[in-house]
Chain A
Amino acid sequence: MKIDSSLPLEYSTEENRLKIFGFWIFLGAEIMLFATLFTVYFVLANRTGNGPTGSEIFELTPVLFETFLLLTSSFTIGLGIHAMRLGNKKAMMTFFITTLVLGLGFLGIEIFEFITYVHEGATITTSAFLSALMTLLGTHGAHVTFGLFWGIAILIQVAKRGLNAQTTNKAFIFSLYWHFLDVVWIFIFSFVYLKGLIS
C-alpha cells in the first residue's frame, strides 16, 4: 500500500481518497433524500385534518436545547478530527465521546418530544401534517441513532488499533456524516419549527 505522507493520514492511500470522495457523492444522495422529505412536509404542512396544527404543538424550549446540543456536537467532532490530524489519539477520543454523548442527549429530548406529542393526541396517524412531520423528524433521528452505533464502532477500533490509515479514514468519513446531520437539523429547526411557530 502506497502511503503519501504529504497528506493527512485519512487521505494517505488511494483507497482512502476513493472512500472520502464516494462518501461525498453519497451525501449528495442524502441531500435529495431529505429534500424529498421536506417536499412532502411542505406540501402537507397545512393539511392538518382534525388534528392539531404546528403552532399548537411545537414548543420552543426543547427544540432550542436540541439545536444547541447538535451544534455543539458538530463543533466537538470537528475538534476531534483536528486532534486526530495532530496525532493526539487521547484528545481525539475524548472529543468523539463528547460528540456521541451530546448526540445521545439530542436523541433523548427528541424521544421525549415524540412522547409528549402522542400524549397530546398527535400521533403519526392523526393527520397528513403529523405523518409528514414525524417521518421527517424520525428519519433524521434514525440517522443520528445509526451514527451513535457507527461512532462507537469507530471508537473501539481507534482504541484497539490506534490512529492508522484505516481508522483515521473511517473517523473522518464519520465526521462528514455527523456534520451533515447537523446541517439537516438546521433546516428542520428553521423551516419546520420556527416557520411553524410564526405561521
Chain B
Amino acid sequence: MKELFPKQHVMGFGFSLLLTIVALSVVTLDMSYNIAFTILLVTALAQATVQLVLFMHIGESEDKKTLYTSILYAVFVGVITIIGSLLTMIWGYQ
C-alpha cells in the first residue's frame, strides 16, 4: 500500500494545500493591495511549478529542454498579451 503513495506526490499535495492556505491569507488577513497581489502571484506560480515538475514530470523525457522552452515561450507570450492589453486598453488610455 505504501508504494502507491510515493513521497514526491504526497509532498507535492502537501505543498499545494499549504500554498492555497497562504494565498487565502490575502482575504483573511488585513494587508495592502500590493502585498496581497504579490502573495497571489508568488503562490500561483509556485502551485503551477509544483504541478509541472512534481506531478506532470516535465523533466523526465529526453525533450525536457524543448518542453521547458515551449512552456516558457507560452508564458512569455501570455504575459505580454495580458500586460500589453492592459497597457493599451486601460493604463495607457484612460
Contact = CB atoms under 8 A, between A and B. Distances in A.
A22 to B, nearest CB: 11
Given A28-B70, A75-B13, A199-B33, A194 B78 contact: no
Given A43-B89, A78-B9, A24 B70 contact: yes
Interface of B: 3-6, 9, 12-13, 16-17, 20, 23-24, 26-27, 33, 36-37, 40-41, 43-44, 47-48, 51-52, 54-56, 58, 61-63, 66-67, 70-71, 73-75, 77-79, 81-82, 85-86, 89-90
Given A74-B51, A179-B55, A183-B52, A190 B81 contact: no
Contact of B17 (A71, A91, A198): A71
A75 B41 CA distance: 22
Contacts of B63: 21, 24
B44 A186 contact: yes
Interface of A: 11, 17, 20-21, 24-25, 27-29, 31-32, 34-36, 38-39, 42-43, 60, 64, 67-68, 71-72, 74-75, 78-79, 82-83, 86, 88, 91, 175-176, 179-180, 182-183, 186-187, 189-191, 194-195, 197-199
9 contacts: A17-B61, A21-B63, A38-B78, A39-B82, A39-B86, A78-B55, A180-B51, A183-B52, A197-B27
B74 A28 contact: yes
Contacts of B90: 43
Looking at chain B's contact residues, the main secondary structure is: helix
Contact of B71 (A20, A31, A67): A31
Given A78-B12, A194-B27, A35 B40 contact: no
B7 to A, nearest CB: 11
Given A11-B61, A39-B86, A86-B3, 18 more contacts: A20-B61, A21-B61, A21-B66, A35-B77, A35-B78, A39-B81, A43-B89, A64-B24, A71-B17, A74-B55, A78-B12, A78-B55, A79-B9, A82-B6, A180-B51, A187-B44, A194-B36, A197-B27
B36 A198 contact: yes
Contacts of B13: 71-72, 75
B4 A91 contact: yes
Nearest to A91: B4
B56 A75 contact: no
Nearest to A182: B51
A25 B70 contact: yes
